[in-house]
Structure 1
Amino acid sequence: MSRLVGAALRLTVVVGEYDTWHHRPLYSEVVHRAHAAGLAGASVFRGVEGFGASSLIHTSRLLSLGEDLPVAVVIVDTEERVRAFLPELDELAPEGLVTLERCEVLLPRPPGAGGPGADAEGERG
């Protein structure tokens, strides 16, 4: 896994939570492939409500517990590495939405590194 700071590209893949790839959740397959490709990071976020191309609204409300909720897989790395990963998504052929957005990665400063609100010795007061 690479450490990343500065300009980056965020890849978001939105699929249904019940979408599968060879009997495995599709979102999990995307994360594992991103990890195997050495990308800097990937996270999965489960939506509580949404709709897509089908125009059906999926919700987590009590009366609709069986609904296929939206799941977003978010991957962040350099533009070059993210674009090199895109053929993996083509192979999975997700029917979901895939977006790319430029972003900037800010890593937390280690203790004593200073920054806004720090005094001359790097401590916050």
Structure 2
Amino acid sequence: MKLERNSKAVLLRIYIGESDRYKGKPLYRYLVELFKKEGFYGATVLRGITGFGQTSNVHTTSILRLSTDLPIVIEVVDSREKIDEIKPVLDEIIKGGLIIEQEVEVWAYRGKEDESD
């Protein structure tokens, strides 16, 4: 599937902690490398300034309570087929956090002409 205007896709959003690790690497970095290796269209990592999860522990960048486990969100968009293929792998890798998916419609998908990896 090629991502073009008005094409249907799935947004997978993964909520984890900054201190989460897998095979000696930060989990968010491992996931981005996995998505790239598997040929996904792209992935973005967002670092939160504050948040809480199932344990209700607040993680924040507040100077009075500087957290070493800030919220991290990884977003990846691709076809339904690619997302469904990666779910069992993610189930093995991600031991804590939240994963949601949402059907989306692509409005634009462009790279810069001079962009290089």
1:81–1:108: structure 2 CA closer, same or farther, 3 Å change rule? closer
Q: What stretches of structure 2 of length at least 5 have no aligned partner? A: 111-117
Aligned-residue identity in percent = 36
> What CA deviation, in whole Å up to 9, does each residue of 1:45-85 have, x standing for no partner?
00011100111111111112234111000000011111111
Residue 96 of structure 1: aligned partner: 97
Residue 4 of structure 1: aligned partner: 3
Consecutive aligned runs of 4 or more in structure 1 exceeding 4 Å deviation: none
Residue 40 of structure 1: aligned partner: 41
**Normalised by the size of structure 1, how large is the TM-score?**
0.80
Of structures 1 and 2, the one with the larger relative CO (CA 8 A, separation 6+) is 2
Residue 28 of structure 1: aligned partner: 29
Q: Does structure 2 conserve the Cα–Cα contact (< 8 Å) formed by 1:10 and 1:74?
A: yes
Q: What stretches of structure 1 of length at least 5 have no aligned partner? A: 110-125
Q: Does structure 2 conserve the Cα–Cα contact (< 8 Å) formed by 1:33 and 1:88?
A: no
| Post-superposition offset of 1:21 | 0.4
**Normalised by the size of structure 2, how large is the TM-score?**
0.85
Number of aligned residues: 108
1:66–1:58: structure 2 CA closer, same or farther, 3 Å change rule? closer
Q: Does structure 2 conserve the Cα–Cα contact (< 8 Å) formed by 1:9 and 1:78?
A: yes
Distance, in Å, in 2 between the alignment partners of 1:29 and 1:44 is 11
Residue 56 of structure 1: aligned partner: 57
| Post-superposition offset of 1:106 | 1.5
Q: Does structure 2 conserve the Cα–Cα contact (< 8 Å) formed by 1:15 and 1:94?
A: no
